[in-house]
């Protein structure tokens, strides 16, 4: 059973995520107005915001420890925050700075934090096999760590996810798959791409338990996730969970959603899991003051992270040649670095290839 403290923790993570993305959105639009240019401004590239998904990240990750692994998809911020990824370094990464989690090489879709075993990536269902592998390592090493792979409902048709279910099941691995069903895969509604309304049914064909949480009620997510994660931690094998969430915005920034019925947008906006959890907290006797305090703390933390990130230095161009390998070969694979006369006069960067 969820405790009030846990509900407060989830609430804090959810409002952090929501406010974080509101702020990111502002920053993202800098330099992109009046005409939207994806490559302009301090945060270029695609940006997939998760407003409406927060209950999933919070309700699942609250059961996880730092030594548990999480892989997230292209819409990762709410999950990263709930998993405890360093917010400053994550923000610096999104701003493409040298002190970012990945030294500016990954960006918003590729946040890697080894301290809390978090990674996300940009290709559909791509994180499922590595999560299975983390679970395999835990089992081999006889620890009670678990792994969780998050994916969208659009990813349940992708081979890599389906293969992962089977591999996890046959080897009884401590891994939980969490489908975030926001009804849409970019412009494609779920019923255009699969006949199965309840994505957790995919588990049936592999003899794995599957359960759907039909609303984005963080407490309901908490309960389903608790069961699945404890099952995994106790060595009883994998599970599949589908969580109904909502996409409150376009697929990525700049998506005008011309394909999406007005009513559907309205519906997604009405049912806000954050408000619902606030009501639950109030029902449990938590005062509005306390909620305000949580929100303020969250906002402060976010503002601080963003302010910090913006002060960070841009990566030196020469660092582009670093990190291809952990153990760079003694010689370079190409004469890379010769693209600019600057770089080729710098004798150093060639070594790290």
Partner 1 sequence: MATESRDYTEATETDRELTMSRAMVEAIAWEMRENEEVFYMGEDVADYGGIFSSTTGLLDEFGRDRVMDVPISETAYLGAAVGAAQAGMRPIAELMFVDFFGVAMDQIYNNMAKNTYMSGGSFSVPMVLTTAVGGTYNDAGQHSQTLYGTFAHLPGMKVVVPSTAYDAKGLMHSAIRDDDPVVYMFHKRLMGLGWMPSPPGPKTGVPEEDYTIPFGEADIKRHGSDVTVVTLGLHVHRALDAASQLEDDGIDAEVVDLRTLVPLDTETILDSVRKTGKLLVVDEDYQSFGVTGEIIARAAEGALDDLSAVKRLAIPDVPIPYARSLEDEVNPGTDDIAAAIRELHE
Ligand X SMILES: Cc1ncc(C[n+]2csc(CCOP(=O)(O)OP(=O)(O)O)c2C)c(N)n1
In angstroms, the Cα distances linking 294 to 144, 272, 279, 281 are 32, 18, 14, 12
Token pair of 230, please?
């404890």
Q: Which residues 246-275 are close enough to bind ligand X by CB under 6 A?
A: 251
Exposure string of 118-136, with b = 16+ CB inside 10 Å and e = fewer, is bbbbbebbbbbbbbbbbbb
Q: DSSP for 229-281? A: HHHHHTT---EEEEEE----S-SSTT---TTS-HHHHHHHHH--HHHHHHHHH
Q: Which of the ranges 8-16, 120-128, 204-212, 320-328 carries the binding residues for ligand X, by CB under 6 A?
A: 120-128
Is 103 among the residues that bind ligand X (CB under 6 A)? no
> Footprint of Mg ion on residues 149-188 (CB under 5 A)?
152-154, 182, 184-185
Strand 239-244 to strand 210-213: parallel, antiparallel, or no bridges (unpaired)?
Answer: parallel
Q: Which of 4, 36, 205, 234 binds a second copy (CB under 8 A)?
A: 205
What, of partner 1, Mg ion, a second copy, none, does residue 204 touch, CB below 5 to 8 Å by kind?
A: a second copy
Shortest approach of ligand X to residue 190 CB, angstroms?
Answer: 8
Q: State residue 149 phi and psi, 5-degree precision.
A: -110, 125
> What angle, rounded to 10 degrees, do the helices at 54-61 and 273-283 form?
50
Q: Which of 308, 297, 295, 287 is nearest to 99 (CA)?
A: 308
The entry of a second copy, ligand X, Mg ion, none near residue 7 (CB within 5 to 8 angstroms by kind) is none
Tell me: does residue 127 bind ligand X (CB under 6 A).
no
Chosen residue from 15, 87, 124, 306 binding ligand X by CB under 6 A: 124
Among 32, 63, 75, 78, the residue binding ligand X under the rule CB under 6 A is 75
- List the one residue from 38, 186, 265, 286 that touches ligand X (CB under 6 A): 186
Write each residue from 148 to 187 as x if it is in contact with a second copy (CB under 8 A), else as -, in one continuous string.
Answer: ---------xxxx-xx--xx-xx-----------------
> Would you say 5 or 142 has its CB closer to partner 1?
142
Q: If you count DSSP H runs as helices and E runs as strands, how many of each does the chain have, helices first?
A: 12, 9
Give the range of 8-16, 62-70, 91-99, 192-200 binding a second copy by CB under 8 A. 192-200
Interface pick for a second copy out of 206, 228, 251, 278 (rule CB under 8 A): 206
Nearest approach, Cβ of residue 252 and Mg ion (Å)? 12
Q: Please tell me whether residue 184 binds ligand X under the rule CB under 6 A.
A: yes
Residue nearest to ligand X (CB): 152
**Whether the Cβ atoms of residue 114 and residue 107 lie closer than 8 Å to each other:** no
**Side-chain half-sphere CA neighbours of 226 within 13 A:** 11
Q: Are 313 and 98 in contact (CB under 8 A)?
A: yes
Residues in contact with Mg ion by the rule CB under 5 A: 152-154, 182, 184-185
Residues found near ligand X in the complex (CB under 6 A)? 74-75, 122-124, 152-155, 180, 182, 184-186, 251
């Amino acid at each position: 059973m969820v405790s009030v403290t846990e509900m407060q923790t989830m609430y804090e993570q959810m409002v952090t995520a929501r406010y974080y993305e509101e702020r990111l959105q502002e920053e993202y639009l800098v330099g992109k107005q009046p005409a939207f240019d994806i490559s302009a401004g301090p945060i270029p590239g695609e940006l997939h915001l998760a407003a409406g998904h927060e209950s999933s990240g919070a309700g699942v990750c609250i059961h996880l420890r730092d030594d548990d692994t999480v892989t997230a998809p292209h819409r990762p911020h709410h999950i990263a925050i709930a998993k405890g990824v360093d917010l400053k370094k994550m923000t610096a990464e999104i701003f493409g700075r040298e002190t970012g989690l990945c030294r500016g090489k990954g960006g918003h879709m590729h946040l890697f934090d080894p301290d809390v075993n978090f990674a996300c990536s940009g290709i559909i269902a791509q994180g499922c096999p590595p999560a299975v592998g983390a679970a395999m390592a835990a089992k081999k090493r006889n620890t009670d760590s678990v792994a969780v792979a998050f994916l969208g409902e659009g990813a349940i048709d992708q081979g890599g996810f389906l293969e992962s279910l089977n591999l996890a099941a046959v080897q009884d691995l401590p891994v939980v798959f969490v489908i975030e069903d926001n009804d849409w895969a970019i412009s494609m509604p779920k019923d255009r791409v699969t006949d199965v309304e309840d994505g957790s049914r995919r588990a049936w064909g592999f003899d794995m338990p599957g359960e759907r949480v039909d609303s984005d009620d963080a407490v309901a997510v908490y309960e389903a996730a608790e069961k699945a994660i404890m099952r995994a931690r106790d060595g009883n094998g994998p599970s599949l969970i589908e969580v109904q969430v909502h996409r409150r915005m376009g697929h990525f920034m700049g998506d005008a959603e011309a394909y999406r019925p007005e009513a559907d947008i309205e519906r997604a906006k009405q049912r806000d899991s954050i408000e619902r959890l606030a009501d639950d907290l109030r029902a449990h006797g938590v005062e509005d003051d306390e909620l305000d305090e949580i929100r303020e703390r969250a906002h402060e933390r976010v503002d601080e992270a963003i302010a910090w990130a913006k002060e960070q230095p841009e990566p030196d161009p020469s660092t582009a040649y670093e990190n291809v390998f952990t153990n760079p070969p003694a010689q370079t694979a190409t004469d890379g670095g010769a693209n600019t006369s600057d770089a080729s006069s710098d004798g150093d960067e060639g070594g790290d290839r």
